[in-house]
Amino acid sequence: MFDRLGHLTYTRRYWVLVLAGAFLAVGGAWGTGVFGAMVSSGFEDPGSESAAALEQVQDSVGRDEADVVVLYRERAGGPATTPSFRSAVETHLAGLPAGLVEGVTTTWSAGPAGAALVSEDGRSTYAVVHVVGADEDARMAAYEDLEPTLRDAPKGLDVQLGGNEAIASDITTQVGEDIARAETISLPIVLVLLVLVFGGLTAASLPLAIGGLAILGSFTMLRLLSLATDVSIFAVNIVTMLGLGLAIDYALFVISRFREELHSGRTTEAALVRTMATAGRTVAFSGITVAISLASLLLFPQVFLRSMGFGGMAAVLVAMVGALTVLPALLAVLGHRVDSLRVSGLARRTRRRRGDTGASTHGAWARLAHSVMRRPVVYVAVIVPVLLLAGLPFLRVEFGGVDHRALPAGTESRVVSETLLAEFRGGGTTTVDPVVTFADGDIGEADRAALAGFADEVRALPDVVSVDVAGEGNGSALLNVRHSQEGISAPARDLVADIRDLPEPEGSEVLVGGRAAELRDLLSSLGSTLPWMGLFVVGVTLVLLFLAFGSVILPLKAVAMNVLSLSASFGALVWIFQDGNLSSVLGFTSTGAIEATQPILMLAMAFGLSMDYEVFLLSRVREEWDRTGDNGVAVAGGLQRTGRIITSAALLLVVVIGAFSTSGIVFIKMIGIGMIIAIVVDATIVRALLVPATMRLLGRWNWWAPAPLARWWARHGLREGEAVVRMPEPAAPDREPAHP
């Protein structure tokens, strides 16, 4: 199949390039419009009790969320309760466009509950503005239209804006700035590194061209998807990271093999066909494996995770297709000119490295492999405990959610939230919101008495500051439960559980909503789906690796090594982000918890990328094993031929993904740093040390499969060339070559 693809891309190279150009034009003109079609919400579980509570409130009572918080303070420091202060505030709010505002709540309009809207020192007050909009994105659009009027402060007063929509708007703006900064940082560094790897500008430019194709193609795929379902704005991050990163990786694999084949004396067409039959096959397997790993995110009901799954799959598959079609067409056009525009000195060093790479059992990487294989027990006995020790902090992980602290310190909407928590009784606007619905569709006197009794029971719970009836309608009553804890903290979530455990008023149903309830339900949903995700990823990976290599041992070992690598990465995340170590250096505020969706996203990405390098390494090891039948020679030769390329690919991917560690949004920064750690650990400690050690210990058993499976793979396995099946012979252990 890959032979035929190589011939096809060579003979139809100009047609391939014309079609690619048309695709790029569509992506640039239409695909980039996806930014206006994305949503900023989607972290909640749509089938949860909190989601049902919100729907019930909207249908019966009307929304009561703090869309926009307008914090007022007199510049002269006077009290917020004077008639002049009140007049200035009410005049300011009365001037808001009626078409954008559903209602306004102030300390003077809220009745007895209004006292909570004045600071404890009496010098500040805030108003809650409810904006129009059927969903989160419509409300954000309304807020952005409303913002200039809100900022037009009354004379003598300072105004600061916060609340749900202000925080969401600031996060969205920050994400856009972060992506632009990440690309500005990473692209020049990547170009320099590619020139160092290839020794010339022509070859170095090709991976960036495929990266641009992958990004624009992914945007086009997401734009198509947005026509049928919601797509989170945060999917842009994974498209940029994986689209550019994997396109560069795959292009690096293909170009390196093409140049190797050219310099062995083959014609351009023969070199391209051989490249597609080897590196092309590896890229295809890698892309499918990574895409399937990311497809596991589709098992979750949250729009955020599903969008990340769709975005990641689009980025990987477009990068893979580009590397298997457009890149070969470019190489067919260039031929030996792929080495043109060489940088003097670098080109000579590159040629020397190619000469080393061509030797199966000599060179720096082969010497490293032999050194490891002479002492395999020592390496395994040291590396495995170290990785397990690094992962220990993850055993005490605390999961949390996204709140104002995800923004950089000093951001206005974050400052408002911090001010409400520090200076206002009851901690500001974040409440637990039970909605009580009576079966008869009306609230009579007996129902009111039962509702009052339920409110008293809630009021008696720990940390509760006040319980107020926020609204009634259609037989439902909404209670606002103010408490003294951080809005979505573990104690706030415990309060949700305590309220849910209370007996329901007679003849009614109680649904508990609010942000703390949403997070509690989210954690429950993630916990119940995560085992299925793991089963899906591991099961499909085992099947794919068996099809690629004809072994049942290597896939199991690969999964075990991935678990070790990921545990070390997750342990580092807890130590850094949950415990707050390095917070001053990295510029973030620790919340004492890890945002719950990020480890799941990291799991899908890192597992897939680990298999990316595993497939590339083992493909060359399998080639050497089929050629020599000597396990030691095969491992040393495979590492020699791939070590530099894998290291270069990992370094380039670290630069692309690592640029996101500069993000001002904490959970984006966490992904960047977590992926840097995962990639570095996998490409160095695991691939260069642990893989050779374990393969030496297993010997011929690396390639073992039950006889029926081995015979099936010999006939039908997805590999190029004639299958070579060598069954293990325990009485004849594999030998280690004597040369260093």
Query: 457, 526 in Cβ contact below 8 A?
Result: no
User: What is the mean pLDDT of the segment spanning 170-183?
Assistant: 84
d(CA 76, CA 71): 15
User: What is the Cα–Cα distance from 597 to 603, expressed in whole angstroms?
Assistant: 10
Decide: helix, strand or coil at residue 509: strand
- What Rg, from alpha-carbon coordinates, does the chain have? 30
CB atoms within 10 A of CB 410: 7
Residues 122 and 100: their CA atoms lie apart, in Å, by 30
Give the relative orientation of helices 376-391 and 691-698 as an angle to the nearest 10 degrees: 130
Angstrom CA distances, 2 to 263, 328, 548, 719, stand at 21, 12, 14, 10
Return the bridge partners of 421, or none: none
Domain 416-520, CATH among 3.30.70.1430, 3.30.420.10, 3.40.640.10, 3.40.50.300 = 3.30.70.1430
CA distance 606 to 312: 12
| pLDDT tens track for 455-514 | 999 999 998 988 988 888 888 999 989 888 877 888 999 999 999 999 999 889 999 998
Predicted confidence at residue 92, as pLDDT, reads: 93
How high is the mean pLDDT of the chain?
Answer: 87
pLDDT at 525: 94
Q: Which residue has the tokens 């420091």?
A: 77
Name every residue whose Cβ is closer than 8 Å to that of residue 224 and which is 6 or more positions away in sequence.
none
Domain ranges of the chain: 1-37+201-341, 67-162, 416-520
Q: What percent of the chain has pLDDT over 70?
A: 94
pLDDT tens for 411-439 read 999 999 999 888 887 666 678 999 999 98
pLDDT of residue 113: 75
Mind listing the pLDDT tens digit for each residue in 61-103?
877 778 899 999 988 888 888 899 999 999 999 999 988 998 8
Residue 740 has pLDDT above 80, yes or no: no
Residues in the chain: 740
Q: Convert the pLDDT of each residue in 338-383 to its tens digit.
A: 988 887 655 555 555 554 444 455 688 999 999 999 999 999 999 9
Number of neighbouring beta carbons within 10 Å of residue 1 = 12
Q: Using DSSP, state whether 84 is helix, strand or coil.
A: helix
pLDDT digits (tens, 9 = 90+) for 529-572: 999 999 999 998 898 889 888 899 999 998 899 889 999 999 99
Token pair 């500005």: residue: 184
Considering the domain delimited by 67-162, tell me its CATH architecture.
2-Layer Sandwich (3.30)
What pLDDT score does 278 carry? 86
Same fold, 67-162 and 416-520: yes
Q: Is the pLDDT of residue 388 over 70?
A: yes
Distance of CA 209 to the CA centre of its chain: 24
- HSE at residue 193, side-chain half, CA atoms within 13 A, is 22
Q: pLDDT value at position 692?
A: 92
Q: pLDDT (tens digit, 9 = 90+) per residue, 224-234?
A: 988 888 888 87
At residue 18, the pLDDT reads: 96
Q: Residue 468 class from Cβ within 10 Å (0-12 exposed, 13-18 middle, 19+ buried)?
A: middle
* CATH 3.40.190.10 at 1-37+201-341, yes or no: no
At 206, the pLDDT band (50, 70, 90 cuts) reads very high
